[in-house]
A = this chain, B = another copy of it.
Amino acid sequence: MLEQIDLTRKMDKEEYRRKMDEMTPHLARLQRECKELGIPVMIVFEGFGAAGKGVQIGKLISALDPRGFHVHAINGESPEEQMRPFLWRFWIKTPAKGRIAIFDRSWYRRVLVDRFDGLTSDQELSYAYEEINSFERQLTDDGYVIIKLFLCIDKKEQKKRFHKLMESKSSAWRVSEGDLKRNKEYNRYKEMNEEMLQKTDSDYAPWTIVEATQREFATVKIYSAVIRCLEAKIQQVRNRKEDTGRPGAGTESQWTDESTLKTSSLNSVDLTLSYTKEEYKEKLDRLQNRIQELHGELYRRRIPVILGFEGWDAGGKGGAIKRLTAKMDPRGYQVNPTASPNDLERAHHYLWRFWNNVPKKGHIAIFDRTWYGRVMVERIEGFCTTEEWQRAYREMNDMEANWVHSGAIVRKFWLQIDKDEQERRFRERMENPDKQWKITDEDWRNREKWDQYEQAVDEMLVRTSTTYAPWIIVEGNSKYYARIKVLQSVVDAIEERLKEDKSKD
C-alpha cells in the first residue's frame, strides 16, 4: 500500500484555512451526533517516527469537546501490562458508547516497533496478526468505528526532521536511539509496515494512508477521513433506526473533497516519457527475444504467470499485449478478454470466471481487463452495492495471494494517459475506418465520468498494490514508451523469480 503513494502532496495555506474553517465545526457536530447515537469511536495514529502524529492529534482534538474523548499514548509495556495478554491494555481502553478514544501508536506496536526491536517472536507475530484482526472485527461487529491513519514520510524527510529536533536541547530527547536506527534501516522497517498494512487493511477497519510531508495537507486529509467515517456510520445507524433497509456507507460527503486528497502517485506520473522509433524498435526486438527465452524457462520450471491489464479507454492495452505476446509460443499462453459478464457468469460469484482461467503451471495467462472491474465500472455504475465493492479489495488481494502461494508470478499494469491524449485517440479512431469499431458511445459516456473513475482508480491502486502482486503504472501517452515498459517489467519480474528459484536449486 505504500508503493504507489505520492509523498510530494501539498496544499496551499489559503485552501487549508478555508477547508479547516468549514471542517472544524462540522467535526464537532459529528462528535455530538455520535454521542447522541451512542457510537463508540477509536482513532488510531500509526506511521513513521517524526511524521507528526503528536501534532496531528493536537490538531484533531482542537475540534472536539474534551469531555468526550481520551488520548492514549502507547509506549512500551509497563510491568503491569507485561503480566497480561498483549491486547489486554487495549481492551480495557475501548471507549464506552458515544465516546472517542484516540491512540498515539496502538496495538500495532507489537508488529512494528516491537518487532523491529526483536521483542516479538515469529510465533507471536503470526498470532498477533490473527488477534489484531479478530479484535477489530469483534469491535466493529458490535458497532464500534475504528479509523486507522498511517502517517507516511520518506527516509530523507525523516532524517531531516530528526536532525532538526536534535539541534535543540529542548527537543533532542524526543529522538530516541530506536528512531535513528529505524531511520538508518528505513527500508527494512518500511517492509514491516507494508506487511502490516496488507495484513490488516479490511473492509470493517480500513487504513487511510496520510501523506505527511506537508503538515497542512496531512491535517486536511485526517479531518476528511475522520469526517467521512463518522458520517457513514451515523447514516448507517440512523437508517437502521428508521428501518429503511441497507446502510448508506456509499454516499459522498460534501466535506471530503477526494480529488484533492488522492493518495496514489497517478497524477504525478511523467507522461512526457517517450522513445524514438529507432530506440523503440531496438528495445522491442531485444525484449521480445528475451521473453521468448524466458517463456521456455518458465515452462521447464513449471512457473505460472498471471498478468492483468487495466487502464483508461484507448490507453493502449491491446497494443501492449500484442507486442508482449508476439514471440511467445502460442501453446503456452492465453489472452482472456474480459467483457460484461454473460448469464452463466452472472449466476456465479464475480471472481468465478477469473478462477476458471487460472493458468496451468508453466503457462502465462493475460487478462485484458480484469477482476478489478468490480471496484471501477461496477462501483461507479452501481452494478454492485457499496458493501460489495468495499469488500472486494480484500477478496481480490486474497485471490492473488492464493495464486502466489501456489507458485505464480502476478503483476498488474495500469496504462495511464491524460484526458487530452484520450480525446485525441478517440477522434483518431472515429476518423480511421479500420479503427472505428474500437470506439463506441459508451467510451464517450465513460469519459464524462473521468473524475469519478480517477478516484476509484486511486483507491484501487493504493489498496491492492501488494508486495506479492504489485501494480505497475505505465506512462502511456507515448505508445512506444508504454509497450517497452510493459515488456521490460514482465522480463524483470520473471528474471527476479528465476534468480530466487535458482538460488534454491
- Name A residues whose Cβ lies closer than 8 Å to a Cβ of B: 38, 40, 80, 82-88, 91-92, 94, 96-98, 124, 126-127, 130-131, 134, 138-139, 141-142, 144, 243, 245, 302, 304, 344, 347-352, 355-356, 358-362, 391, 395, 398, 401-403, 405-406, 408
Contact = CB atoms under 8 A, between A and B. Distances in A.
A302 to B, nearest CB: 8
A144 B131 CA distance: 27
Contacts of A141: 391
- Copies held by the complex: 2
B358 A85 contact: yes
B347 A83 contact: no
A359 B85 CA distance: 9
Contact of A85 (B350, B351, B403): B403
Contacts of A96: 344, 347-348
Contact of A360 (B80, B87, B355, B405): B80
29 contacts: A38-B347, A40-B348, A80-B360, A83-B302, A83-B361, A83-B362, A84-B304, A84-B360, A84-B361, A84-B406, A85-B358, A85-B402, A85-B403, A86-B406, A87-B355, A91-B352, A91-B355, A91-B356, A92-B356, A130-B398, A131-B398, A131-B401, A134-B398, A134-B402, A138-B398, A139-B349, A141-B391, A142-B349, A243-B245
Contacts of A358: 84-85, 88
State the majority secondary structure of interface residues on A: loop
B402 A131 contact: yes
A91 to B, nearest CB: 4
A242 to B, nearest CB: 11
Contacts of A360: 80, 83-84
A403 B85 CA distance: 6
Contacts of A344: 96
Nearest to A89: B355
Contacts of A127: 405
A358 B81 CA distance: 11
Nearest to A360: B83
Contacts of A408: 85
Nearest to A96: B347
A96 B405 CA distance: 27
Q: Which 4 A-B pairs have the closest CB atoms?
A: A91-B355, A85-B406, A96-B347, A83-B360
Given A92-B356, A355-B92, A138 B405 contact: no
A86 B405 CA distance: 10
Nearest to A97: B347
Nearest to A80: B360
A395 B138 contact: yes
A85 to B, nearest CB: 4
A240 to B, nearest CB: 8
A470 to B, nearest CB: 19
Contacts of A144: 349
Which of A243, A350, A402: most chain B CB closer than 10 A? A402
A245 B96 CA distance: 27
A403 B304 CA distance: 42
Contacts of A87: 355, 402
A396 to B, nearest CB: 10
Nearest to A91: B355
